[in-house]
Amino acid sequence: MKKIISTIEVFAGLTIKRMFVVLGSMAALELILFWIFGLSRQVYTFENAVIRSFIPVVFCAAYLAMYWALAWFSGRNSTYRYTLQRLTLSERSATAVQTVYYALCFLLFLLTQVVLTVLMAKLFEGGKYFSEGAQGIFIDMRYNTYFLYNLVPLWTGVQRVKSLLCIILAAIAAAHMNVSVRRGYTPVISFILAAAAAMLWAMPIVPHMDPELVIPLFIFVILIPAGTLYMTYSRANKGSNVEDIPWD
Amino acid sequence: MIQIKNLTKKYGSTVALDRLDLEIHPGEIIGLFGPNGAGKTTLIKSIFGFVNYQGSITLDGEPITRKNIARMSFGTCEHSFFPGINANDHAEFYRDHFQSFDERRFAVLMDFFDLPRNKKIKHMSTGQQNQFEVIMALSQGSDYIFLDEPFAGNDIFNREDFYKVLLGMLGPDETLLLSTHLIEEVSGLVSRAVLLDKGKIIGDKQIAELDSENAGLIDYIKDAYSYKADRVFQALEQLSPEGE
């Protein structure tokens, strides 16, 4: 266990500052834009205030920045995979630990956006053009925009599964990118997977989506990540004659 | 003892190591010499399993697995540290992963090279990064230490002092394999010279044997590689106006 925690600490040490820069920038930019376009102009619904403040655009850009910040550290001037390869913890296991760490980071990213949205709703409620009432804000979040709806991950079971899936996809994409970069491959499938995670996030699964599409979509988003995961762990072990033993 | 038998490594059609046999005994300080492309780095990478190979490599009769790989440490001019974390965090990481991490040696060497402990390694100079790479390899607490061109970019004074510290520091059972081009500098340090050329061992001699023959390491190496002493003169002669 100590080795696993220690490995997470190393990955965190390499990325955490960059991650907080992304989260901080996202928060600052969203609040400034919301202040300018959402609160200072005649906007009567929270939904409009959010859209006119370009919050979904900032969120999307922050997602890409997050993906880059977590995964794109090639170890310039260092082939640190040599160290990962000669631990008693296998590089594959280290990569699995890394994937879990990335999932936690993307969860934090989503939670940050949820907190920001709640904060913006509170600010809007106290603003001079507020007229729709608390229930209006609730309806905006529940029904009117996919962006806001997706940020309320606790509505339905399917929505929760979808949010979890998005986090897992993003984490696998980031892990694949990092392994590819440190192994000298071009991480093409990682970009595809990162885009798939973003698209899945933006998609109206419930209640607006055709139910017949749900199953094929879920298969699609399970098959691609499974393939990517397989490729990631194959790459993580490539060029190694060192026999794997389980974690101790 | 590390025993290498019939080791062959090919990169496509290029043979990097050709049916190589070698034994590395506890307590030896081996200088691994050879021109660029001789296979020195590939040999070390094969021992660690960083590359696939044919043949067998064993440590005390056992194949090298995750059970015994911690008995070997590696310092390379390519660097293997985590650039985004500092020296103290590296020490903590090594402490967690290598039971025999030598805290005292780490502290002494950090002080010896006067390296900052709280600075990210990527923000150190190249010379300091090389020094740190060597420190981690020596502090891991391993029985077999492999250093691949570790002193590139370090000044002569640092290197000379370091050789002295190294000699005084290594325990009787600690084994060091040093791959370097700085033959003259390490001639007083190594106890055995292994010469590689085109993936084959073309020379393997104990320094004590050379001493008893009143032969120097440089001469032995020149002889093994059939060094042509007159090639400089010939080149200059061809370049002179009379040579045209």
* Residue A239 clears pLDDT 70, i.e. is over it: no
Residue A248 lies in a domain: no
**Positive/negative CA dihedral, A191, A195, A201, A203:** negative
Instruction: Please state, rounded to an integer, the average pLDDT across all residues of chain B.
Output: 89
User: How distant is the Cα of B137 from the closest Cα of chain A, in angstroms?
Assistant: 10
CB-closest option in B70, B79, B126 to A88: B70
Here the tokens at position A112 are 């940050």
Domain with B184 in it: what CATH number? 3.40.50.300
Counting residues of chain A whose pLDDT is more than 70, the rounded percentage is 76
What is the token pair recorded at A49?
A: 């205030």
**A contact test, residue of B94, B97, B147 with most A CBs within 10 A:** B97
Structural domain of B51: 2-243
Query: Shortest Cα distance from A8 to chain B (angstroms)?
Result: 10
Residue A91 lies in a domain: yes
A233-237, B78-82, B138-142: range with lowest mean pLDDT: A233-237
> A61 near A51, Cβ under 8 Å?
no
pLDDT tens digit sequence for B199-237: 999 999 999 998 888 888 888 888 888 777 777 778 888
Of A48, A51, A62, nearest to A113 by C-alpha is A62
pLDDT tens per residue, range B164-174: 888 888 988 89
Within-domain flag for A247: no
- Best of A8, A241, A247 to mutate (most B CBs within 10 Å, chain B): A241
The structural domain count of chain A equals: 1
Q: Let me know: does B172 contact B100? Beta carbons within 8 Å.
A: no
User: What is the predicted pLDDT for the residue at A135?
Assistant: 72
Which of A51-65, A159-173, B51-65, B72-86 is least confident? A159-173
Q: Hey, what are A113's tokens? A: 């956006």
CA A163, CA A221: separation in Å to the nearest integer? Answer: 12
Between chains, do A77 and B64 touch, taking CB under 8 Å as contact? no
Distance, CA of B25 to CA of B194 (rounded, Å):
13
Domain count within chain B:
1
Q: What is the pLDDT of residue A248?
A: 25
Whether the pLDDT of residue A244 is over 60: the answer is: no
Look at A86 and B93 and tell me if their CB atoms are within 8 Å.
no
- Asked if pLDDT for residue A142 goes beyond 70, the answer is no
Measured between CB atoms, does B170 come within 8 Å of chain A? no
Q: What is the pLDDT of residue A205?
A: 59
Most confident of A53-57, A224-228, B157-161, B225-229: A53-57
Q: pLDDT tens-digit profile of A70-129?
A: 887 655 556 788 888 888 887 788 888 889 999 999 999 989 998 998 898 888 887 776
Show the CA angle centred on residue B155, arms to residues B151 and B158, nearest 5°.
Answer: 80
CB-based contact (8 Å) between B93 and chain A? yes
What is the residue whose two structure tokens read 């008995």? B71
**Which residue segment(s) compose the domain that A30 sits in?**
2-74+83-237
Provide, rounded to the nearest whole percent, the portion of chain B with pLDDT above 90: 55
B29-40 tens-digit pLDDT? 999 999 888 999
A242 chain-B contacts, CB cut-off 8 A: 48-49, 64-66, 69
| Contact residues, chain A, for B65 at CB < 8 Å | 242-243, 245
**DSSP 8-class letter at A244:** P
Flag whether pLDDT at A144 surpasses 70.
Answer: no
CA dist A128 and B236 (Å) reads: 89
Q: Does B108 touch chain A (CB under 8 A)?
A: no
| pLDDT above 70 for B98 | yes
Q: What is the pLDDT of residues A196-215, one digit of tens each?
A: 888 777 766 555 566 677 67
CA B68 to CA B172: how far, in whole Å? 20
Contact present, B170 and B102 (Cβ < 8 Å): no
| Count of C-beta atoms within a 10 Å radius of residue A102 | 27
Largest pairwise CA distance in chain B: 68
B66 chain-A contacts, CB cut-off 8 A: 87-90, 242-245
In this prediction, residue A242 has a pLDDT band, given cuts at 50, 70 and 90, of: very low
Identify whether A243 is part of a domain: no
Place of tokens 């991650």: A19
pLDDT grade for A232, boundaries at 50, 70 and 90: confident
List, for residues A35-80, the tens digit of each pLDDT value: 998 887 777 788 888 888 898 889 989 999 998 888 876 555 567 8
Token duo for residue A4: 């696993």
Residue B145, pLDDT score: 96
ipTM: 0.85
Q: How far apart are CA B37 and CA B16, in angstroms?
A: 8
Q: What is the pLDDT of residue A204?
A: 63
DSSP B190: -
Q: Which of A72, A77, A84, A90 to mutate to test the interface with B (most CBs of B within 10 A)?
A: A77
Higher pLDDT: B215 or A171? It is A171
